[in-house]
Chain A
Amino acid sequence: MATLETAVTRQPSSFLEGVRAAGPVMLGYLPIGFAFGVLARTAGLTVAEIGLMSVLVYAGSAQFIGAAMIGAGAPAPAIISTTFLVNLRHLLMSTALVPSLRQNRAWQNSLLAFGITDETFALNSALLRGQPASPAFVAGVHVSAQASWVLASVAGALVGQMAANTEALGLDFALPAMFIGLLVPQISGAERWKKVLSALVAAAVSIGILLLSPGSGWAIIGATVVGATVGVLLK
């Protein structure tokens, strides 16, 4: 498996490099996707509905909330507006990918945009560092990450109960560990203390918002806006 160090010396370009880079995301999506399938089945969704949601919506926390709300018989406008709020944070990630993807054709970017998640954004932005990226590489990351998500959620829906205690195996820590592995190498260069402060402020704001308003869809957005602004303002 390539390290971040080797990956940034040459800009990755092929679809297969994207698939390989997506390994940690695919691994992390397996237990969460499976758990989503189990929960959505318990909430009364059919296997086909669960698969369809993972293909068309493809957003972890919004799908958990959506399935629970459908199961509880919530009205469609409430479910859809909740989904919108929970997923609004992707606006910022989509904007932050502009420097790397602007040279692509609009139809390429409108397809690639479908695969932006917290995890694929974290991976792509760490690997690409604002440098121009080939659409094939990003497609490789996005297609393999979503394939893992869809397969895992359908498997969970079919099995209908947890097949193994993924928590005892530590698998629920795959994505937090990936965030650590992506964050640490970015704290480098002459301006690293600005990055550290920006990160600490973002962490504090996110926890603050979640304490004031549990489950808030604004936590990541608010934390990112404040954290990035602090980074820019520091002299």
Chain B
Amino acid sequence: MTVRPAVLAIILGMALVTYLPRMLPLVVLSRVQLPPLVLKWLSYVPVSVLAALLAKELLMTDAGLAFPPAHPHLLAALPAFIVAATTRSLMGTVIAGIAAMALLRLVL
């Protein structure tokens, strides 16, 4: 159970620069009244973040754009989308996606 001092210093530095952007807006901006336009803008942030993360997962690998069969994510997304749209169950969507991916890896 050893922690080298140099590595500890790096980890503490990483922790600090990761924590500040997480903490400062929430703590500082909670003290001020945000204008309606900013609130409206913020209401589009979750959808945009989700879409950006999802596009990256479905279409990209470290080597660039990737599609089925090499990168079956886009195909596995179909049943997940259908389950999400019809049931709105989060766990159901996750299970459908995992099952579809396992199946695709088996057949592709």
Contacts and interface: CB of A to CB of B under 8 A. Distances in A.
A170 B22 contact: no
Nearest to A7: B90
Interface in A34-90: 45-49, 52-53, 56-59, 62, 66, 70, 76, 79-81, 83-84, 87-90
A122 B49 contact: yes
A168 B77 CA distance: 16
Given A53-B11, A173-B100, A198-B44, A94 B49 contact: no
Interface of A: 1, 3-5, 23-24, 27-28, 45-49, 52-53, 56-59, 62, 66, 70, 76, 79-81, 83-84, 87-99, 101-102, 104, 106, 109-110, 112-114, 116, 118, 121-122, 125-126, 130, 167-187, 194-195, 198-207, 210-211, 214-215, 219-220, 223-224, 226-232
13 contacts: A46-B4, A59-B18, A83-B13, A92-B45, A94-B26, A95-B25, A95-B29, A109-B23, A130-B42, A170-B76, A170-B103, A179-B50, A181-B80
Interface of B: 1-4, 6-15, 17-19, 21-27, 29-31, 34, 37, 39-60, 62, 64-65, 73, 76-77, 80-81, 83-85, 87-94, 96-106
